[in-house]
């Protein structure tokens, strides 16, 4: 993806989301724009990637976002889950920590917390 495309996409999506999610697909249907995002394979805080094994994704969740040029927008988000190799524990990213770390807007962090808990 070119720098111009990356900049444009980052302006259309919630601030900081591309730090943690990859844009995988965009579908435009009658007055609806679906933007599909998958969480990147970046180890959650407190873990080293070599100690984790990616175990796919939680079920996709649709979140309504601000309209773009008269189109309703849904962010279709797939959060990643990992297994800790030496314990077998299943973990996922703690979105409270991400929000506090200021890599994502507080508004979006609160929004995700409300959806995912």
Could you report the per-residue pLDDT of 2-27, keeping only the tens digit for each? 899 889 998 888 878 888 999 999 99
What is the three-class DSSP state of 61?
Answer: strand
Report pLDDT digits (tens) over 21-76. Answer: 999 999 998 889 999 999 999 998 888 889 999 999 999 988 888 788 889 888 88
At residue 104, the pLDDT reads 44
> What average pLDDT does range 100-115 have in this prediction?
57
Helix ranges (DSSP H) in the chain: 3-12, 17-20, 95-100, 106-116
- Other Cβ atoms within 10 Å of 73 Cβ, number: 17
Q: pTM for the complete prediction? A: 0.78
Q: Which alpha helices (DSSP H) does 13-100 contain, by range?
A: 17-20, 95-100
- What is the pLDDT, as a whole number, of residue 17? 85
């Amino acid at each position: 993806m070119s720098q111009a495309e990356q900049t444009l996409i980052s302006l259309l999506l919630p601030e900081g989301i591309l730090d943690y999610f990859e844009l995988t697909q965009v579908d435009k249907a009658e007055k609806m724009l679906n933007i599909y995002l998958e969480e990147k394979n970046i180890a959650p805080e407190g873990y080293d990637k070599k100690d984790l094994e990616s175990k796919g994704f939680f079920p996709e969740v649709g979140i309504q976002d601000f309209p773009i040029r008269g189109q309703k927008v849904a962010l279709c988000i797939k959060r990643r889950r990992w297994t800790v190799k030496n314990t077998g524990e299943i973990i996922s990213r703690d979105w409270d920590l991400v929000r506090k770390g200021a890599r994502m807007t507080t508004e979006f962090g609160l929004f995700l917390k409300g959806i995912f808990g």
